[in-house]
Amino acid sequence: MRILIADDEAPARRKLVRFVRESAGVELVGEASSGAEALVLIASQRPDLVFLDVQMPDLDGIRVAELLAEREDAPRVIFVTAFDAHAVRAFELDALDYLLKPYDRERFDRSLARARSALAARPGETSAHIAELIARLRGDDRYARRLLIPDSDRSFYVPVRDLVRLEAQGNEVVVHARRGEYAVRATLESMEARLDPVQFARVHRSHLVNIDEIAEIRAWFHGDQKLVLRDGTEIGWSRRFAAKRPDLQR
């Protein structure tokens, strides 16, 4: 499988290059730092797969994919971005996957495996897979993508992807985000109902955490466990709440 990487951020491009070069059965045929450069390299190198950043100078990744869609010999595309706002449009353009930064090696490997399967599949099978992904993304609209935080005489939004944990304190919920802490007049139960359970787990009567922020799970007293988050916070995980999320222990 011949792979091209297009990303205007050098560190992100180096990470992808390293992952690709460490993978078996693939060949890196080029790197681009802009949308226009990507189109030129795609025409000359004819890759099977392009890892395409959404936000790039000249032409963004969505526009590059739209131009590629007009070609019969277009390579397959996996979008790579720090933002999920264009996810539905990406899959409408027949993208194989949508790698959301920061991603790890395991997530990259899943995308690469998906690409291998798609390139080996019959066209009808791939189209059905894309339709399923679009439906799944649109179905997630029932959960919040951002929280409105009131602050004196103003309010502002905090994207859900930036949440680390939520903590009940009296009549308020303290929202611990990557860029600060904010007190909201609400109950933890109401917040839990607004957040996707695939991404957030109730681990204590006073704590709701972003699953991706869990760094370690440690054994504790009397069968309970302790969660260590990436920011160093330690939270007790009681057996009662652990029993409700067996998926987190596999």
What pLDDT score does 125 carry? 47
pTM listed for this prediction: 0.50
What is the rounded distance in angstroms from the CA atom of residue 209 to the CA atom of residue 24?
Answer: 36
Q: Does the structure show a pLDDT above 50 at 124?
A: no
What pLDDT score does 122 carry? 47
| pLDDT band (50, 70, 90) for residue 89 | low
Cα R_g (the chain), whole angstroms: 21
| Residue predicted with more confidence, 241 or 87 | 241
- Only one residue has tokens 């526009």, namely 63
> One-letter amino acid identity for 83?
F
**pLDDT tens-digit readout, 21-30:** 999 999 999 9
Q: What is the three-state SS of 24-92?
A: CCCEEEEEECCHHHHHHHHHHHCCCEEEEECCCCCCCHHHHHHHHCCCCCCCEEEEEECCCCCHHHHHH
232 phi-psi bin (left φ>0, alpha ψ -120 to 50, beta other): left
Task: Note the Cα 166 to chain centre separation in Å.
Answer: 20
What is the rounded distance in angstroms from the CA atom of residue 32 to the CA atom of residue 42?
Answer: 10
**pLDDT tens-digit readout, 106-117:** 989 988 998 888
CB atoms within 10 A of CB 173: 24
Domains of the chain: 2-140 (3.40.50.2300), 146-249 (2.40.50.1020)
